[in-house]
Structure 1
Amino acid sequence: MRLFWKAAGADRFILERSTYGDQIKYVCLGGIIIATGVMAAIAGGYAFYTIFAPKGNAIDSFKAVEGIASNYDPTDVPTALISIVFGLIWGAIIFNIDRFIVTSTGKGDGTEAITRKELVGALPRIIMGAIIALTISKPVEIRMFKTEIDVALHAKQIKQEQAYKAEIEKVANGEIDKKQAIIREQLNRIARLDSISTVRKADIAYENSHGGCSLKCTEFKNQLVSNQAEVTAIKSDPEFIKVKKDLEALETDKLNKLKESGKVAAGLDGLLERIKLAHEEAGWVISMFVTLLFMTIELTPIFFKLMLIKSPYDYMEENIKELIKADKGIEIQHNFYPDGEGIERDLVINHQVLRILKEKIQLLEAQSALSNEAINAWKHKKQNDINNNPDAYLSEE
């Protein structure tokens, strides 16, 4: 109870002497603030884990949750530990912001009605509370609809993977086709030369079988040697070898990129993508309902304080404040003077400050008077010394 009182910014000394209704009222108020901090810690930790956890196939996580693949552990322990630390820090930050917002919100006019003036005065705190509610609701929302999001995300990852593969095929095949065309042209030349060489070998064999190698047979042999030399030159051509190596490198790179397409598609699994899919899968009505639910939890303490009716706690608190001001010599005259815009301002008189200031002024005045008397006495003494012995104060030089 004392912890909740402290979270609500209530005075334990006064509450212990107040009514039970006041005690419960501030317990509830502090409980809401602490609950908001706890929810912020959970939401912040989950959001941090979603952002920095290793990316993978969304359906694997879905299977693990459903128990289909019991040997699969989707939790990355190092990221989870860091997320817990971040969640605790984030929860503490939100808790302190909420506590400040609630404690700095006045009690209004002490009635249940929330007037327009009260609402305008609380508007900055309401806006801050709404922003905090949004930051809490979105991570919780994607966790609530995780199963549906995983299925939709897996389908999107498959489409992304197919599109990535198609793009790789389109880009890589263009370069591969160019290299293959060059190689094909050289291979066709080699095939033609080999075909001619085969014919010439048959011609030479025929000539040899009919009386030995004649002049024509020698020409066939020379042409055969020339064709074989040309084939060797084509195969050993540095440009031809380079094109073949480039083709192999392109094909290897293409295969590697195709293998990595799954990892690329898995990178689609981010916080923003999950929030988008949560809106698509749940629909704007349910999404808005979840957000409004957290806004209600977050903004309840602010409206709660504006609707509070003055109770014994409030009167005792005001009384203690007045006693402290009286003890410290602080006087406030309300609506004492209008400012330049016609708004009545309070006159604050700090009597202890005035007393010390007056004492200080009198002390300085007394010191100044004594100093003047000392100077006059010294001056009178010196004049007497000069009158009695003027030679001592004169110099012949």
Structure 2
Amino acid sequence: MIKQFFLLCSGVDQDLIKDCSNGEQNKYAGIGATVFFTALMAAIAASYALYTVFDNPYTSIFFGFLWGLLIFNLDRFIVSTIRKREKKSQELIQVLPRLFLAMIIAVVISKPLELKIFEKEINQVLLTKKNQMTLENKNQIAQQFTPEIEKLQSEIKGLKEEITQKEIETNNLYETYIAEAEGRKGTKIIGKGPVYKEKRQKHDAALKELTELKQSNSEKIDAKESEIATLIEQQKNSQTKTQPIISNFDGLMARIDALNQLPWLPSLFIFLLFLAIETAPIFTKLISHKGEYDYKLENHESKVKSWIQQQVDQRNKIADTDIDINTKVYEDLKSEEELYNYKQKIATDLMKLQADTFFENQKNIL
């Protein structure tokens, strides 16, 4: 039963192969097994590749199964259409397009399995790239908010410096009127005279202005610090919103790109392995000698071809004969007196009718 199934996979004519020797049947059963397992591996590879896209096992398995059937049909077609020729060069010419197609199929099958085999290494490459993208994303978002934050911080620094300058000025006025009272500066008269009172008034006025300035600038500083806190919060929210996009950066294209960054030699050997598997049925038929099945198939096709040629030739001869007969019949009718008189009478009646009609039309016009 398994042997019959693999013979079916090889695309051979079941009526012809059943009368062949056991060795011939085993040869084509081996070719059919290669076709079947290639399609099976194609289905597994496609299912994994589609799982990285859809992230749904049922959808991936369904479409992977369809892809496996497609590869099975293509391989079966390729193997079944190769015919053994008298010259190897003729066989090579008919095999070349099929080899090209087999190479394409091998690439399609091997790439998803490479992604699975090197999954850990690919994850490491993707992690490095995600970290880099996270840093770049933070820098890009920071460039949107940093100028405004720095501007507010500069304004806060200016307000604080304004208070500091006013404090220095007030302290200097304080030192001045104290020194006047102690007689160390100014009039150098100890006591609280008119000059002392004047300087005290200047200090008191400056102290009042300092108090008002502190209150005013404190309110402005609080408002600007609140704006800075809001901007920092918006910056964090922007980073939070964009981070899932970076975290989900592990689709099929991203994994293929990461695979290309790994050493190429292991991938090459895997590709060559699948290329060998995919082209094995073709090379098996190419290098094998003409077998019993090939002769029977050639004989069967020759019979069909001869029968078709006979049918076509017979139809052509019938058509040629019918044309010759029709030509002769109409040639004989040219000299037939009765037919001539009959057609002459009809033509005469027709011309009379035309003349009468013309006469009536002209009379109506007049």
> Match for 2:116: what amino acid?
R
Q: 2: CA distance between counterparts of 1:226 and 1:83?
A: 77
Does the C-alpha gap of structure 1 residues 270 and 225 become closer, same or farther in structure 2, counting only changes over 3 Å? Answer: same
Does the C-alpha gap of structure 1 residues 221 and 311 become closer, same or farther in structure 2, counting only changes over 3 Å? Answer: same
* Bigger share in helix: 2
User: Once structures 1 and 2 are overlaid, which stretch shifts more, 4-13 or 245-254?
Assistant: 245-254
Unaligned runs of 5+ in 1: 54-75, 202-209, 332-348
Is the CA contact (8 Å cut-off) linking 1:137 and 1:290 kept in structure 2? yes
Q: 2: CA distance between counterparts of 1:157 and 1:16?
A: 60
- Mapping of residues 1-397 of structure 1, within 5 Å: 1-50=3-52, 52=53, 76=55, 79-109=56-86, 115-162=88-135, 164-165=137-138, 172-189=145-162, 247-259=228-240, 263=244, 265-275=246-256, 277-278=258-259, 283-328=263-308, 330=309, 350-358=312-320, 361-362=323-324, 365=327, 376-382=340-346
> Match for 1:256: what amino acid?
N
TM-score (norm 1): 0.66
User: Once structures 1 and 2 are overlaid, which stretch shifts more, 142-151 or 23-32?
Assistant: 142-151
User: Once structures 1 and 2 are overlaid, which stretch shifts more, 311-320 or 221-230?
Assistant: 221-230
> Match for 1:134: what amino acid?
V
Q: 1: CA distance between counterparts of 2:296 and 2:211?
A: 114
Is the CA contact (8 Å cut-off) linking 1:34 and 1:95 kept in structure 2? yes
Q: 2: CA distance between counterparts of 1:392 and 1:152?
A: 100
TM-score (norm 2): 0.71
TM-superposition CA deviations, 1:351-384 (whole Å, max 9, x none): 1441353355357547856986696352244489
Q: 2: CA distance between counterparts of 1:131 and 1:294?
A: 11
> Match for 1:14: what amino acid?
L
Aligned Cα RMSD in Å?
4.6
Is the CA contact (8 Å cut-off) linking 2:173 and 2:199 kept in structure 1? no
Q: 2: CA distance between counterparts of 1:135 and 1:124?
A: 17
Post-superposition offset of 1:7: 3.2
Is the CA contact (8 Å cut-off) linking 1:47 and 1:139 kept in structure 2? yes
Q: 1: CA distance between counterparts of 2:239 and 2:352?
A: 117
Seq. identity, % = 29
Post-superposition offset of 1:21: 2.5
Is the CA contact (8 Å cut-off) linking 2:173 and 2:202 kept in structure 1? no
Post-superposition offset of 1:321: 1.8
- Structure with the greater alpha carbon radius of gyration: 2
Does the C-alpha gap of structure 1 residues 263 and 380 become closer, same or farther in structure 2, counting only changes over 3 Å? Answer: closer
Q: 2: CA distance between counterparts of 1:365 and 1:37?
A: 62
Matched positions, count: 338
TM-superposition CA deviations, 1:20-77 (whole Å, max 9, x none): 2232222222222222222112111211222x25xxxxxxxxxxxxxxxxxxxxxx4x
Q: 1: CA distance between counterparts of 2:124 and 2:353?
A: 114
Does the C-alpha gap of structure 1 residues 382 and 123 become closer, same or farther in structure 2, counting only changes over 3 Å? Answer: closer
Q: 2: CA distance between counterparts of 1:384 and 1:255?
A: 108
Is the CA contact (8 Å cut-off) linking 2:47 and 2:65 kept in structure 1? yes
Q: 1: CA distance between counterparts of 2:145 and 2:326?
A: 93
Does the C-alpha gap of structure 1 residues 248 and 360 become closer, same or farther in structure 2, counting only changes over 3 Å? Answer: farther
Is the CA contact (8 Å cut-off) linking 1:105 and 1:305 kept in structure 2? yes
Unaligned runs of 5+ in 2: 175-191, 360-366
Q: 2: CA distance between counterparts of 1:87 and 1:274?
A: 19
Does the C-alpha gap of structure 1 residues 95 and 356 become closer, same or farther in structure 2, counting only changes over 3 Å? Answer: farther
**What SS does the corresponding residue of 1:350 show, helix, strand or coil?**
helix
